[in-house]
């Protein structure tokens, strides 16, 4: 036991939650509580030991989405923990400060377990970010945004509402609550947006039409902060934004697809002095030759990657540790036109090199682990494999992943 080891316990369990819209309670799942989970701080350079305990009545896994760690610690479908069992993971944290998250990944039950409430936050932290708001819950808040559909009795009924193209709902939850209010205390608020929905893309806007400043993408800071009216996130993606309240006197709401779901109440504000570090990287030329082509295809239960559906006994891609590759991910439309697939890879953070031959937008110039690929689009990414073992890559529409839109990458 040394100072550089941090310990956590995370228990997946059943619970009961009451949603205010209807005042009725429903069965939910949560980590260390009734719904969602804690924020686990992962200091860069330290070792984090997590005791994971499964108190569900079925297998689950604990997947650390976005963490660059060996496959045996990754919590993918191969690391199932039986009902009532426990396992310990040891994570050496060596990546950029960022907003990551954790969720279950068991074969066949990922979508349902996430829908019922299993998701938590991971913050990779580092002193290099001391110039940013980082007082948790005060000037630095997470918003895990999810859509859900409740039955007339106010219940979350996954089986009744399951859709093969992704289970969606008409109610937006932020951190598991409907219509939340946050009292803003400082001029600049850092909001960590996590699209934790099973399938829905969100466009986030402010109700006063003002811009937000995006400072980070999935895996860390952008090369330059970007001022944006709309922040778009597909399932699994994250963005860190700064919202400036210094000129605002009234309440402002954060909207998802035009529907307000979190209200910021603005009172007396403390001054903020912000210093935004940036993370420059020499861009890889857009015309760099492609090492590997991945074709995403289909909808519903007819989805595939390179014509195949997931087979736990088949390795689809083999690479060597330390290799850097350029992948081109293509979304081939079908007769119906197809749909956007958020493509996610475990065990790496990558850079987007191009979209349809053009350099990425400024808000995508940073580390990513999930990238939206629209129908007919080709996205090139550059990735370096630093960790060994068998990792998943898949569509983060969780029902597509369940339907087999997933492959395996082996790093030796």
**Where does this chain bind ligand C2O (CB under 6 A)?**
63, 65, 103, 105, 236, 344, 346, 392, 394, 396
Nearer to ligand C2O, 272 or 411 (CB): 411
Minimum Å distance from CB 115 to Cu ion? Answer: 16
3-state secondary structure of 161: helix
Among Cu ion, ligand C2O, none, residue 400 binds (CB under 5-8 Å by kind) = Cu ion
Q: Which is nearer to ligand C2O, 346 or 355 (CB)?
A: 346
Total Cβ atoms within 10 A of residue 96: 18
Select from ligand C2O, Cu ion, none the partner in contact with residue 395, using the beta carbon and a kind-dependent cut-off of 5 to 8 Å.
Answer: Cu ion
Which H or E run includes 153? none
Taking every pair of Cα atoms in the chain, the longest distance, rounded to a whole number of angstroms, is 59
Candidates 273, 146, 266; CA nearest to 206 is 266
- Is residue 103 a contact point for Cu ion (CB under 5 A)? no
- Interface with Cu ion (CB under 5 A), residue from 196, 400, 403, 406: 400
Nearer to Cu ion, 364 or 399 (CB): 399
Q: How far is the CB of 343 from Cu ion (least distance, A)?
A: 8
**Minimum distance between the CB of residue 327 and Cu ion, rounded to whole angstroms?**
16
Q: Shortest gap between Cβ of 161 and ligand C2O (angstroms)?
A: 21
Residues 6+ apart with CB under 8 A from 127: none
Of 190, 341, 351, 394, the one binding Cu ion (CB under 5 A) is 341
| In the complex, minimum distance from the CB of residue 395 to Cu ion, in angstroms, rounded to a whole number | 3
Nearest-angstrom CA–CA distance, 49 and 63: 14
- The option from Cu ion, ligand C2O, none interacting with 394 (CB < 5 to 8 A, set by class) reads ligand C2O
Q: DSSP readout, 261-274?
A: EEEEEEEEEE----
CB 352 within 8 A of CB 380: yes
User: Bridge-partner residues for 392, per DSSP?
Assistant: 408
Which single residue brings its beta carbon nearest to ligand C2O?
Answer: 65
Q: Which is nearer to ligand C2O, 59 or 225 (CB)?
A: 59
Question: Does the footprint of Cu ion cover residue 71 (CB under 5 A)?
Answer: no
Please give the helix or strand (H or E) that residue 1 lies within, else none.
Answer: none
Nearer to ligand C2O, 101 or 204 (CB): 101
Instruction: Sketch the per residue contact string, 16 through 55, with Cu ion: x for CB under 5 A, - otherwise.
Output: ----------------------------------------
Nearest alpha-carbon partner for 147 in 201, 109, 192, 193: 201
- Of 356, 411, 360, residue with least CA distance to 387: 411
Find the helix or strand (DSSP H, E) in which 74 lies. none
Q: Does 200 bind Cu ion (CB under 5 A)?
A: no
Should residue 396 be labelled a site residue for Cu ion when binding is judged by CB under 5 A?
A: no
| Residue 355's binding partner out of Cu ion, ligand C2O, none, with CB under 5 to 8 Å set by partner kind | none
CA distances from 241 to 45, 220, 313 (A): 25, 12, 41
Alpha carbon distance 346, 203 (integer Å): 25
């Amino acid at each position: 036991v040394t100072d550089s080891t941090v310990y956590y316990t995370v228990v997946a369990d059943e619970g009961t939650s009451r949603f205010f819209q209807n005042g009725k309670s429903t069965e939910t799942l949560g980590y260390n509580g009734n719904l969602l989970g804690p924020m686990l701080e992962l200091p860069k350079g330290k070792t984090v030991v997590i005791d994971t305990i499964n108190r569900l009545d079925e297998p689950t896994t604990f997947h650390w989405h976005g963490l660059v760690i060996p496959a045996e610690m990754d919590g993918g479908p191969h690391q199932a923990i039986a009902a009532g069992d426990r396992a310990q993971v040891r994570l050496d944290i060596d990546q950029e400060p960022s907003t990551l998250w954790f969720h279950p990944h068991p074969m066949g039950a990922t979508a349902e377990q996430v829908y019922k409430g299993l998701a938590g936050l991971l913050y990779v932290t580092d002193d290099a970010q001391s110039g940013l708001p980082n007082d948790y819950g005060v000037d630095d808040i997470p918003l895990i945004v999810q859509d859900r559909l409740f039955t007339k009795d106010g219940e979350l009924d996954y089986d009744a509402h399951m859709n093969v193209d992704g289970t969606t709902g008409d109610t937006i939850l932020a951190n598991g609550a409907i219509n939340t209010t946050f009292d803003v205390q400082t001029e600049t608020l850092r909001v960590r947006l996590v699209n934790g929905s099973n399938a829905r893309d969100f466009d986030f806007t402010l109700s006063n039409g003002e811009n937000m400043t995006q400072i980070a993408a999935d895996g860390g800071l952008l090369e330059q902060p970007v001022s944006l009216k709309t922040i778009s996130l597909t399932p699994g993606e994250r963005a860190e934004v700064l919202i400036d309240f210094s000129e605002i006197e009234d309440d402002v709401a954060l909207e998802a697809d035009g529907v307000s779901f979190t209200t910021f109440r603005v009172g007396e504000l403390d001054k903020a002095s912000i210093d935004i570090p940036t993370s420059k990287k020499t861009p890889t030329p857009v015309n760099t030759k492609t090492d590997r082509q991945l074709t995403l295809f289909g909808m519903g239960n007819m989805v595939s990657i390179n014509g195949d559906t997931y087979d736990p006994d088949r390795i689809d891609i083999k690479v060597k540790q330390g290799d850097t590759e350029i992948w081109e991910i293509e979304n081939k439309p079908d007769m119906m036109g197809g749909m956007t697939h958020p493509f996610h890879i475990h065990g790496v953070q990558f850079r987007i090199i191009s979209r349809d031959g053009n350099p990425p937008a400024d808000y995508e110039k940073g580390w990513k682990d999930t990238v939206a690929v629209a129908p007919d689009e080709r996205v090139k990414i550059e990735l370096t494999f630093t960790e060994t073992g068998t990792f998943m890559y898949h569509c983060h529409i969780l029902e597509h992943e369940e339907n087999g839109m997933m492959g395996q990458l082996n790093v030796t």
